[in-house]
A = this chain, B = another copy of it.
Amino acid sequence: MTPDDFRQHGHALIDWIADYIEGVEQFPVASQVQPGDIRASLPEHPPAAAEPFTDVLADLDRVVMPGITHWQHPSFFAYFPGNSSYPAILGELAAAGLGVQGMSWVTSPACTEVETLMMDWMQELLGLPAKFLSTSAHGGGVIHGSASEATLASILAARWRATGGSINTTGDTSHLVAYATSQAHSSIEKGLRIAGIGTAQLRMVPHDGSFAMRVDELERMVADDIAAGLTPFWVCCTRGTTSSMAFDRVGLAAEVARRHGMWLHVDAAMSGIGALAPEHRWINDGLELADSYCTNPHKWMGVNFDCDLFYTADRAALLGALSILPEYLRSAAAASGAAIDYRDWQIPLGRRFRALKLWFTIRAGGVADAVEMIRRHVALTQQLAEWVRLDERFEIVAPHPLNLLCMRLTAGDEATDALIARANDSGAALFTRTVLDGVVACRVSIGGRTTDERHVRAAWQLLQSLAGEPT
């Protein structure tokens, strides 16, 4: 492809993306294909020679589009907000165009320094504790690809601190015990398992009626484990659980953690960005006592996936767990201590220039756009809750302080399951199912960049129309 070809096809692709995003409502929200359909529409073997790029672009419509579940559709109410924005797309494009690799400061200083500044900007915009600033004595932040990686990094830092660093040599995790609720994200159990902390070493702390951690039970379980000669080393509080958006009380859990020398991680992957709006800054309650924290601009800030903010108050533990310095990665800048090498703050070695999409979004989109969007989503969720309360066939099954509403049919699990399946099959909206204390619920996650009242109203009318007779 010549540079002129690239300009021509690049312009066409930019226009294709704008057409796609502006026209996304014409598509069914969820892909309607069956397993194997997409592959069957492509050649089983690679082409022998280069093809015209126009053919490739045409295949985006012909082949790819039928297999897309449209996360940017305003009637996408599934999983979690995954909203994107035009400035973020351009940020991703700029990163791809530069083609640099930011594993070390020296491999492209701008890649590291813009990222560090973005982490500090986000600390300010979210109102996070100053101990997470890069300029603080012991803390700092880094962009990870996902909250899963942030969780794992937190576990590894905690593991290192709890063993005085000996874990790096001995690999001995046999005495370590971790704590979370059954409502914590699956990446908690997965991260622990990866780190050699088996499920027998993960305590599921009971939750209360709001699906938040019972800290009295945490205290009791920690005491039992200590009495048994074990070492409680890590507790995860979630601020906005995936199933129902429950909020563990960080301050209370932190007291237990402090008393017993445990690392406290706060997972706010889904909801933390809500703190951009000052009235939702309660999301941060207790964070001043946390050892690490993560939240995702790729969920609720219009920064397309992947962009997770991971902060720690103890960077020495993180570096202790993850630094390895072979000869071919040494540099004078890093040796002097003046520069950050982010490869030592994450699981992989290589890294893209992800800070660009955050920088572009904050500057060109303005935080005001994100705040307006967050407020709109929260208001729509409360509006939906009012409608649901007026229909006796439905009940709301969890608190809904922000932008997730969990509801069910009073007719029971089977009816609720059937309702979700029929609604999703319609293509007019997409919801996710969950189970809360043994009861099936329909999650309505309101998080699309362009989701407005008409979409939520239509979604509710869809659910009502499919709900059947009252029991």
Identical copies of this chain, number: 2
Q: How far is the CB of A91 from chain B (nearest CB, A)?
A: 8
Given the known interface contacts A109-B33, A113-B36, the answer about A433 and B328 at a Cβ–Cβ threshold of 8 Å is yes
Q: Interface SS of chain A: helix, strand, loop or mixed? A: helix
Instruction: Give Cα distance in the complex from A111 to B116, angstroms.
Output: 31
Contacts of A304 in B (CB 8 A): 96, 99
Query: Measured between alpha carbons, how far is A245 from B332 in the docked complex, in Å?
Result: 24
Instruction: Tell me the nearest residue of chain B to A90, going by C-beta.
Output: B13
Per the bound structure, the CA–CA distance linking A10 and B93 in Å amounts to 9
| With contact pairs A6-B14, A39-B113, A170-B198 given, residues A93 and B94 touching in the complex (Cβ less than 8 Å) | no
Is A210 at the interface (CB under 8 A from chain B)?
no
List residues of A (78-105) whose CB comes within 8 Å of B's CBs.
79, 82-90, 92-101, 105
Return the contact of A362 from the options B3, B7, B47 (Cβ within 8 A).
Answer: B47
A327 within 8 A of partner (CB): yes
Contact in complex: A20, B350 (CB < 8 Å) = no
**Which of A145-153, A277-285, A381-389, A391-399 contacts its partner?**
A145-153
Asked if B168 and A199 sit within 8 Å, CB to CB, the answer is yes
Are the C-beta atoms of A110 and B350 separated by less than 8 Å?
no
Considering only residues 182-221 of chain A, those with a C-beta below 8 Å from chain B are 185-187, 189-190, 192-201
A148's partner among B31, B42, B147, B349 (CB-CB below 8 A) is: B349
Contact present for A306 and B352 (CB under 8 Å): yes
Chain B nearest CB from A330 CB (Å) reads 7
8 A Cβ contacts from A89-144 to B = 89-90, 92-101, 105-111, 113-114, 116-117, 120-121, 124-125
Is the beta-carbon distance between A171 and B173 smaller than 8 angstroms? yes
| Whole-angstrom distance between the Cβ of A381 and the nearest chain B Cβ | 17
Q: Mark A333-356, 1 if CB is under 8 A from B, else 0.
A: 100101100000001111010001
CB distance from A251 to the nearest CB of B (A): 27
CA distance in complex: A189, B7 (Å):
43
Binary interface profile of A, 19-51, with partner B (CB < 8 Å = 1, else 0)?
011100000001101111111001011110111
Please measure, in the bound complex, the distance between the C-alpha atom of A339 and the C-alpha atom of B37, giving whole angstroms. 11
A228 at the interface (CB under 8 A from B): no
Which among B38, B83, B167 is the interface contact of A196 at CB below 8 angstroms? Answer: B167
**Bound-complex Cα distance A7 to B14 (A):** 6
Residue of B nearest to A144 (CB): B348
On whether A82 and B101 interact (CB within 8 A), knowing A148-B347, A364-B1, the answer reads yes
CB contact between A171 and one of B105, B152, B200 (< 8 Å): that residue: B200
A64 at the interface (CB under 8 A from B): yes
Among B20, B31, B83, B114, the residue within 8 A (CB) of A109 is B31
Interface centre among A31, A110, A147 (most CB of B within 10 A): A110
Q: Which residue of chain B has the shortest Cβ distance to A435 in the bound complex? A: B327
